[in-house]
Structure 1
Amino acid sequence: MSSVVRRIARVAAVLWVAPVSLCALPLLPLALWRAQWRVVNGVLEITGPALSWFLHGPWFRLLTGGAGFAAATIGHVIVARDAGCMDGCRVHEHAHVRQCERWGPLFPFAYVGAGLYAALRARNFGAYYWNNPFEREARAAEGRDKTLP
């Protein structure tokens, strides 16, 4: 594939995912305080103490059964508690970026729907995350997978 075609495809992917990426804007105040920003493979990665507080908040602890998240993907933006979490979660979170590039603005709805279906099927709310097919695909990208019975 020529470099021009690659650039056009990349711009198209960014535009396709832009509505989801813009959902990260409310995190901007948290991403400004002592945060580190960098771009890796066309994805904005942000770490910082205020983001750590956000990812460890009750809204995420509910989904994970108490641990909160080390990182989260919102379109082409990944936020993580710190650089160590980002390094440890990079493969997993970049798998979510690729999923978002496939689904575009429908990704959040597909993710939530798949999680609810998994939870209802297992009759266990923890399955929302652990049995969600999008999470299973991301864990498989890391070379691991775990589901709840």
Structure 2
Amino acid sequence: MADNRTMEEILQAPTEGYGDAIVVPDILVNFFDIKTGLLSLIQAKQYHGFESNNTHDHIRSFNRITSTLKFRDVSNDAIKLMLFPYSLEGTAKIWIDKLTDTISNLVKTFNKKMTTPATVKAVEETCVIYGGAHPYYDCIATDSNISSAYATT
């Protein structure tokens, strides 16, 4: 069977299963702070978004710095997600700030359009499946037993 896809389609990166938002996981410790020395270390290697900047080098450097950090009861992913915006400057910083606003607006718009208020009925103790409306405990289908399954000993 011949593969009739174009080269662009073959080389397309998979996007299925990837999240759309940058979400920092909850930190469950009572006291957690990021030291100013750590912030200055991150900010010393900022990515500006220029054509001459290499994004892969920036990510490698960022991962190298953050992989040395260990905080009790705080995941390394949470640390990276908190620190990453500080590693950006210029157009890259503007882009990530707009991205956050865009995602928030998208979620609000989606919730407004897709969330429809539904009426909720109280649960009624009647069975309407077999022989018309009657109390569920008098249903012929269950032999007038609340539970039709019995355990034998």
* TM-score bin (small chain): under 0.3
Question: Which of the two has higher C-alpha Rg?
Answer: 2
Structure number having the greater helix percentage? 1
TM superposition score normalised by structure 1: 0.25
TM superposition score normalised by structure 2: 0.25
Structure number having the greater strand percentage? 1
